[in-house]
Every structure is written in C-alpha cells, then in structure tokens.
Amino acid sequence: MLDILADRTYRHLFLAQVVALLGTGLATVALGLLAYDLAGDGAAMVLGTVFTIKMVAYVGIAPIAGAFATRVNRRALLVGLDVVRAGAALCLPFVTEIWQIYVLIFLLQSASAAFTPTFQATIPDVLPDEARYTRALSLSRLAYDLENIVSPTLAAVLLAVMSYNSLFLGTMAGFAASALLVVSVLLPSPKASEPRGIYDRTTRGIRIYLATPRLRGLLALNFAAAAAGAMVLVNSVVLVRGTLGLAEAALAWTMFAFGAGSMTAALALPRLLDRIPDRPVMVGGAAVMVLTLLALAGEVAAIGLDWPFLLGAWLLVGLGYSAALTPSGRLLRRSAHAEDRPALFAAQFALSHACWLVTYPLSGCLMTRFGPVVALGLLAALAGAGALLALRLWPKEDPEVLEHTHDNLPLDHPHLQGARSHAHPFVVDDQHPRWASQL
C-alpha cells in the first residue's frame, strides 16, 4: 500500500491531508475547553450548535463550491482555502463572545466544505490507475482513523506545558503546512466544462449523482453508516461513563476500538477489492454494522452491558463502517468525466453529511428518552433499511461499458457517428442525461 507514496505529487497531498487533520483534531479539543470557559454548564449547547453549523456549512456550501471548482486553478483554490482556514483558526484564541465562535467556525467549515471535495477529486487525476487509487483511498481512511487517536494524545501532551488557546496555533500551523505542501507540487486541473448557468453548475453534481444507480445505492449506504456511526460517536460516552460507570480512560479505549476496526478494514481492503467487486464488500460492511448493533442490543436487554463486549462490538462496527465507505471514491471516479468530478465529489460530501445531520440528533434523542436497547435497535433498523435499499438501487450487474440507444440526439450528432445504438464507458452527461436503460 505504501508504494504509492513514491509518487511525489500524491505523497505531498497525503502529507497535506495528515497535517490538516492533526490541526483539526487539536481544534476539536481546544473548542470544547473554550466553550466551557465562555458558557460553563452551557458548553454542551454551544458545542451542539458548533457541530450543527459545521454540518449546515458542509451540506450548503459544498455543491456551490463544486460548481465553481473547474473555473479556477485547482492548486490556487486549495492553497487559498487553506489560508482562509488558517486565518480563522488564528482568530479563535482571541474570542471573547460565543457568537464569535459561531462566525469563525462557519467560516472555517465553509472553507473545508470547498476544500475537501476538491482535494478528493484531485486524487484520481493524480493516480489514474484504479489499483493505485484504491490504495490511496485506504491510506486516506487510515489518516482519518489515526487522527482520532493521535490528535487527542498530542493535545494532552501539549496541554501539560501550555494553555488550550495555544492549540489553535497548532491548528493554524497544520493548515499552513497543508498549503505549503500543496503549493510545492503541480496539480492536474481538468478542462472546464461548457459554459453553464449558475443553477446548472450548482446542481450538476447532485443531478449526476441521483441519476446514477450505483451512486443512489452509495447514498443509501451513507445513511446506513451514519446511523451506526452516530450510535458510536454520540452515545459511547453515555454507555461508558453513565451505564458502566467507568473512568474517562475507558472512553478513550472504547473509541480506540472503533478506530482500530476501521483501520483493520482499511488495511485489508486494497487486496480484497482486487478480487471482489465493490458492491458486495460495501453492502457486507453495512450488514456487519447492523448485525453487531442488534447483537449488542440483545446482550444489553438480556444480561446488561459488558465493557469487553462493547469493545468487541465497536471494533466490528468500525470494520463494517470502513468497508462500507472507503471504496466510495472508486464509484465516484467511475461515474463522471474528469471535468465533472469536483461537482460529483461535492455532491457526495453534501449528501453524506446530510445523512449525519439526521442521525446525530436522532441518536442522542433515542438514547436520552428510551435508553440503549431502543437506541441500538432503532439505529440498527435504520442502518439495515439503508443496506436493503442499496441492494435495490444498485444493480448487481454494474458494468462500466453499457450498450445503449440514443433517441435524444439527431442522427448526425458527432457523438453517434451515424449509429443510434453503441457501447462505451457510460456516465451521465449532456449526451446521456438519464441512465442507459431509460434512454
């Protein structure tokens, strides 16, 4: 897997992702402490609002940014967005009012909503070979998992010798380092698509996404992963500290189990996907999450919650989570021309976070009002519904080349070359506004 780091351009992009993630992790810790300083017992409400602002920015800004991503130089765009993020992070230590946090977080997360899908859409252009791109996706998943482990540890070490406000300087340094790494390489920029209106550019990625069967299936799997993931991320603290009455360190180990499962899957996926198609791997990952949540609900209902059982459950949920989501970049790469990829990755970014916008509050509400058995059972049911819907929406036979007939174009159109029926790698575009079976 690590052999792809021999590619200088990808190596610099991967390191840019790692340092930016580390900086983001430091900001997460520092924000919690800043919120407590400003709001005291109301810190939970402040952080809840911050995460809601983050999701709203992701859902609302990403499609708009994707619409204009091909209009500017890709390297200049990424560097500029990193500068905006670094500037917002630099302002956070000087905050004195809660509303200032909200404004700065919206600015920072709006820049991230534009940066992340553009960055993700760059990787398949840098690594056009599918096998190498698959390994890049697994490395990216590992980077996210390691961030969940390394950032809190680094924050704890730094807090022993400095104030939490200094952590925001680490966040700024992470984004600045990311900008320097991006500017140090030449990035391919796809040719701009034909001139389009603002509405057409803004909605193009989502329209391509929803018109493509495999991507409709991916959206269902995103919802399944968000349902299971929300149970882990929102309710672990209640299960560990409240139900089990364990110390704070136990919570860290519980979350480590989820990350370890995800890393295990990420390491295994490149070789697995060389032999098995994406669909069974991804739906199988969703099934693992569903069955694990149901088993945990049954264990809690029968004999009560047991910490070793919870650790094993979260390990399996993390494994299923990574298996269900890590290959998604392969599907997006197959489903659009290079010039449409930024818009399509932006659509994936927005739609997947819209799923989290639903499951985050639902998970907390179910746990608070009905307890762990109901929360586990209903979230497992939602994840299962997502997996079943994915099976229905994503055809089992999903070839890249499709034979199709054009009734929507005149016979003398250059694309037809005199024949209405032909076959080629099929994606939704101006000549193919609907999927092949519907033309």
Q: Give yes or no: residues 170 and 239 share one domain.
A: no
pLDDT at position 313 is 97
Question: What SS3 state is found at 32?
Answer: helix
Residue 429 included in any domain: no
Please give the average per-residue pLDDT across 110-120, as a whole number. Answer: 86
pLDDT at position 38 is 83
Q: Give yes or no: residues 228 and 154 share one domain.
A: no
Here the CATH number for the domain that contains residue 245 is 1.20.1250.20
Q: How far apart are CA 396 and CA 419, in angstroms?
A: 29
pLDDT at 8 over 70: yes
pLDDT at 201 over 70: no
Q: Give yes or no: residues 169 and 254 share one domain.
A: no
Q: Give yes or no: residues 237 and 151 share one domain.
A: no
Residue 416 included in any domain: no
**pTM over the 0.85 mark:** no
Task: Name the one residue in this structure whose structure tokens are 């916008």.
Answer: 357
Among 167-181, 318-332, 394-408, which is the least confidently predicted range? 394-408
Please give the average per-residue pLDDT across 52-59, as a whole number. Answer: 84
pLDDT at 1 over 60: no
Q: Give yes or no: residues 129 and 275 share one domain.
A: no
pLDDT at 378 over 70: yes
Residue 430 included in any domain: no
The larger pLDDT score, comparing residue 249 to residue 353, is at 353
Decide: 401 and 426 in contact? Cβ < 8 Å. yes
Q: Give yes or no: residues 169 and 307 share one domain.
A: no
Tell me phi and psi for residue 404, to 5 degrees.
Answer: -150, 165
DSSP-assigned letter for residue 72: S
Q: Which band of pLDDT confidence, cut at 50, 70 and 90, is reported for residue 439? A: very low
pLDDT at 213 over 90: yes
Q: How many domains does the chain have?
A: 2
Among 104-118, 167-181, 406-420, which is the least confidently predicted range? 406-420
Q: How far apart are CA 401 and CA 404, in angstroms?
A: 10
Q: How far apart are CA 274 and CA 264, in angstroms?
A: 17
Enumerate the β-bridge partners of residue 425: 401
Residues in the chain: 439
Q: Give yes or no: residues 256 and 313 share one domain.
A: yes
Name the range with the highest mean pLDDT among 115-124, 253-262, 305-314.
Answer: 305-314
Please give the average per-residue pLDDT across 217-231, as a whole number. Answer: 95
Residue 428 included in any domain: no
DSSP-assigned letter for residue 3: G
Residue 218 included in any domain: yes
CB count within 10 Å of CB 334 equals: 18
**Tens of pLDDT along 246-280?**
876 787 788 888 888 988 998 899 889 989 999 99
Q: How far apart are CA 269 and CA 323, in angstroms?
A: 7
Task: Name the one residue in this structure whose structure tokens are 């995800």.
Answer: 262
Tell me phi and psi for residue 131, to 5 degrees.
Answer: -65, -40
Residue 425 included in any domain: no
The parent domain of residue 302 ranges over 208-395
pLDDT at position 123 is 87
pLDDT at 64 over 70: yes
Please give the average per-residue pLDDT across 209-237, as a whole number. Answer: 92
Per-chain mean pLDDT for the chain: 85
Q: How far apart are CA 289 and CA 160, in angstroms?
A: 38
Q: Give yes or no: residues 217 and 359 share one domain.
A: yes
pLDDT at position 192 is 57
Please give the average per-residue pLDDT across 382-398, as a whole number. Answer: 95
Among 8-22, 166-180, 417-431, which is the least confidently predicted range? 417-431
Q: How far apart are CA 273 and CA 131, in angstroms?
A: 9
Domain boundary among 377, 395, 413: 395
Q: Give yes or no: residues 217 and 185 share one domain.
A: no
pLDDT at 416 over 50: yes
Q: Give yes or no: residues 129 and 97 share one domain.
A: yes
Domain boundary among 161, 189, 217: 189
Residue 113 included in any domain: yes
Percent of the chain predicted with pLDDT > 70: 90
Q: Give yes or no: residues 222 and 169 share one domain.
A: no
Residue 378 included in any domain: yes
pLDDT at position 56 is 86
The larger pLDDT score, comparing residue 14 to residue 413, is at 14
List of residues 6+ apart from 381 with CB closer than 8 A = none
pLDDT at 376 over 60: yes
pLDDT at 9 over 80: yes
Q: Give yes or no: residues 176 and 48 share one domain.
A: yes
Please give the average per-residue pLDDT across 329-333, as a whole number. Answer: 90
Please give the average per-residue pLDDT across 335-344, as a whole number. Answer: 83
